[in-house]
Structure 1
Amino acid sequence: MRLTRQLSLLAGAWLPPDRDTADLAVASGRLSAATARDLGYTELPVSAGTAPPGMAVRAARALLDRGGVPAEALSLLLHASVHHQGHDAWSAPHHIADRLGAHRATPVGVLQQCNGGAVGIELAAARLQGDPAAGPALVTTADRFLLPSWDRWLTDYGMAAGDGATAVLVHHHRGLPADLLLHAVHTEAASELEVMHRGDDELDAAPLGHGSMIDVRRTKRAFVREFGIERFTKTAHDRIRAVVARALADAGLAPDDPRLRYAVLPRLGAKAMREAYVPPLVESTPAELLDLGRESGHLGAGDLNASLADLVSRHLLEPGEHALVLNGGGGFTFTAVVVAAPTTR
């Protein structure tokens, strides 16, 4: 998306204080040493006591307080998630809006699997581009991955799941502070890969109809048996090259522009990133690769949004420097966002 009006971002995250370390998981027999090496995570945040919507409220409230933004000024609240939000046949986005006091905002749920937070930013930007009078839009994500429905270390290949929430405010910069300037966001879909998370299963009439624990490894094995892993790898590489090229072009940056400081990776396992994300990314830009996920794990729908928050909290960009932040999610969709640190605060 080529932006016709300047948009700004405030970005924050809330991760619970408890941790499950890879060393402990290996020592207790919950994870093999070989798998731990392939994943490359040191630890995962764990939220035993706070449900995902509560985590989202914490992240959002801290962000709004820091920016001096009253919740009633919000025009839109988008909430993205991957796993169970705490209740059935119920709207977590409306709960979050109510708890924040965002009673003028339209609450919307975003179901884009692990790319939900990224797509939320794109939808928020499109809303504000189309309506110059619209108030700020808030994008939240929150997930937690607890037994018996999800084994955070072993439910999926290529990632281990950390609990946490993110909040990103997208706004017109009218008197509001800006952590980052949004220069471009672009998404490409690969719907032919939806079968990776379905395998050869029939569609059931009730949740968890294929087993009491979600097992993404099983459906991915079925995909590989039928199509081969090369089908996924080639498609992912093609889409990643496309989203990076389009996002950089929309931001007015050449791939080797010296202002482009970082190309930020998703928070997947190290081996999965080396195979699926690093090759097309290094082909697309010589910018320095940045991996921010070794101490968080994969944060469900919030990887890209958490990386925006880390760019800010860790002061990784000097004024005027840019970063391209890449993400992908089951379905599949791939998104690239280009942001820059403001030259003035």
Structure 2
Amino acid sequence: MWWNDIYVSASAAWLGRREDVRDAVAEGRYDAADAVRDDYLAIRVSDDVHPPDMAVAAARLAMERSAVPAGDVALLAHASVSFQGRDHWVPASYIQSRTVAGSATALDIRQSSNGGLAALDLAASWLAARPESRAALVTTADRYGLPEFDRYRSDSSLPRGDGATAVVLSRGARAATTAVARLLSTVLLGDSTHEGAYRGMRPWGESYGGRDVPVDLRARTWEYLATGATGEEVVATLTAGQQRALKQALSEAGVEADDVARFVFPNGRWWHRGLDPDRTTWEWGRQVGHMGAGDQAAGFTHLVETRALRAGDHVVLSGAGVGMNFGCAVLEMLRTPDWDPVETPPSPDGRTP
């Protein structure tokens, strides 16, 4: 979808403390061979701040950085992958109550690692379809800890990092003069051919307490491959879907790949192969880990905070989620804001509801 009059007014990220992967290897929590293959330097870990409060901190900073009044926010979309601290509730409403309040619609998005881009596309669509709506707030937050998830062993090649992000979208004449970037296009695609690769082949669980923990995504993949699919076929579907979304987003934006200043992919080594490292965020991402739904917004925020982008630059945000779902967004920088690099904004008062 090509967008007109949709802008990124501000963004922010909250990251956990830095944990050197060598420490995890020395303590037996991360296989040494996996560490060499994965090529990460560090992973971010939140010891006692839970995802909804991470998102509140990021959202407050993003709103502070923007010129958008809280009352203008007509939608709050929160994307996540991991457990959010409570069962049977809506984290988006909690985040709304502690940030913009008001009568905005609050929605939770569950599209795995493609959730942040799905929420961005939804927010842009919401604003475009409702002329009276002037702004939307998109947040992500994920925390990967035992017993629910083993950040170094539950999945292959993607050790998880804890963190949250926030993006403020806006529209109108005021947004055009104050925003950081213009949203040119977004694309969401799906290919369910190998949706079982992360589901596995075991019977459905009957209750929360009956689940196998920690989550073992590697075992699920092997269960699926035992049915006859090959790893090469799964990877080919994943790669083709992400490339298709990227090419379509660039085409709709009227931007050539060679004219893209920076690509923000998921924080994993294999996504960045074949590209000049200076055009990606891998050197940053390998010190953060895979943040679930938030890699793209966090990577974009890092580029802006470190003055790696200037007016006129084009930025591609690319993602993929299990299922499989694919997303891409193309942005054009309008200005370089004077944001200080802030990886861990102050946590909200109180770390429990």
Name the TM-score, length of structure 2 as normaliser. 0.89
Does the alignment pair 1:247 with 2:238? no
CA contact (8 A) 2:4 2:184 kept: no
- Say if 1:305 and 1:76 are closer, same or farther in 2 by CA, change over 3 A: same
2: CA distance, partners of 1:90 / 1:310: 31
1:35 is displaced (CA, Å) by: 0.6
Q: CA shift at 1:251, angstroms?
A: 0.7
Q: Which residue does 2:318 correspond to in 1?
A: 326
**Does 1:341 find its partner at 2:333?**
yes
Report the counterpart of residue 225 of structure 1 in structure 2: 226
CA deviation profile, 1:235-271 (whole Å, cap 9, x unmatched) = 1222122111111111111233x3x212222112x2x
Q: Assess if the C-alpha contact under 8 Å between 1:9 and 1:182 holds in 2.
A: no
Q: Does 1:49 align with 2:48?
A: yes
Of all paired residues, the percent bearing the same amino acid is: 33
Letter in 1 for 2:324: F
Q: Shift of residue 6 of structure 1?
A: 4.0
User: SS at 1:3's partner residue?
Assistant: coil
Count of residue correspondences: 333
User: Hey, what does 1:294 align to over in structure 2?
Assistant: 286
Contact 2:5/2:172 (8 A) holds in 1: no
Q: For residues 292 and 335 of structure 2, what CA distance do their matches in structure 1 show?
A: 32
Residue 343 of structure 1 deviates from its aligned partner by 5.2
Distance in 1 between residues matched to 2:230 and 2:302, nearest whole Å: 36
**CA 1:39–1:67: 2 relative to 1, 3 Å:** same
Which amino acid is 1:188 matched to?
L
Q: Is the 8 A contact 2:21 2:42 kept in 1?
A: yes
Give the C-alpha shift of residue 69 in structure 1.
2.8
Aligned to 2:138: 139
Assess if the C-alpha contact under 8 Å between 2:7 and 2:183 holds in 1.
yes
- Which residue number in structure 2 is paired with residue 238 of structure 1? 240
C-alpha separation between the residues in 1 aligned to 2:83 and 2:280?
A: 32
Task: Please tell me whether the aligned partners of residues 208 and 214 of structure 1 are also in contact (alpha carbons under 8 angstroms).
Answer: no
Name 1:148's counterpart in structure 2: 147
Residues of 1 paired with 2:180 and 2:129: CA distance? 23
Give the Å deviation of 1:173.
4.7
Secondary structure (helix, strand or coil) at the match of 1:57 reads helix
Which of 234-243 and 53-62 deviates more?
A: 234-243
| Partner-residue secondary structure (3-state), 1:63 | helix
Cα distance in 2, alignment partners of residues 266 and 107 from structure 1: 26
Distance 1:86 1:140 in 2: 16
Structure 2 counterpart of 1:190: 191
- Counterpart of 1:325, as a letter, is L
Alignment check: 8 A CA contact 1:247 1:338 kept: yes
Aligned to 2:3: 3
User: Cα 1:104–1:27, aligned 2, differ >3 Å: closer, same or farther?
Assistant: same
Tell me the SS of whatever aligns to 2:285: coil
1:138-161 deviation digits (Å, cap 9, x = unpaired): 000001111111111111112011
Q: Secondary structure in 2 aligned to 1:108?
A: strand
Deviations 1:53-79 (A, max 9, x none): 000000000111121433232100000
Letter in 1 for 2:56: V
Q: Does 1:90 align with 2:89?
A: yes
Which runs of 5 or more structure 1 residues have no equivalent in the other structure? none
- In 2, the alpha carbon distance for the partners of 1:147 and 1:117 equals 24
Compute the displacement of 1:335 (Å): 0.9
- Per-residue displacement from partner, 1:168-227 (whole Å, max 9, x unpaired)? 011115424312211111111112222011111111111263413111111011123331
Distance in 1 between the 2:81 and 2:63 partners?
A: 24
Distance 1:343 1:89, change over 3 A: closer
- Taking a change above 3 Å as real, the CA distance of residues 251 and 56 of structure 1, as seen in their structure-2 partners, is same
Contact preservation (8 Å) 1:255, 1:286: no
Secondary structure in 2 matching 1:109? strand
| 1:50–1:344 distance in 2 versus 1, CA, 3 Å | closer
Identify the residue that residue 214 of structure 1 maps to in structure 2. 215
Q: Which one-letter code corresponds to 1:304 in the other structure?
A: Q
Letter in 2 for 1:265: F
> Shift in Å at residue 233 of structure 1?
1.6
Which SS does the other structure have where 2:193 is aligned?
helix
Aligned-partner Cα distance in 1 for 2:278–2:244: 16
- The one-letter code sitting in structure 1 at the alignment partner of 2:151 is R
Cα distance in 2, alignment partners of residues 287 and 191 from structure 1: 33
Q: Could you tell me whether the CA contact under 8 Å between 2:66 and 2:168 is conserved in 1?
A: no
- SS of the aligned residue for 1:244 comes to helix
Q: CA RMSD in A?
A: 2.0
The change in CA–CA distance for 1:287 and 1:126 in structure 2 (over 3 A counts) is farther
TM-score by length of 1: 0.91
Q: Tell me what 2:14 maps to.
A: 14
Matched residue, 1:204: 205
Distance 1:317 1:208 in 2: 47
Report the equivalent of 1:263. 263
In structure 2, the gaps of 5 or more residues are 338-353
The amino acid that maps onto 2:288 is S
3-state SS of the aligned residue for 1:320? coil
Equivalent residue number for residue 80 of structure 1? 79
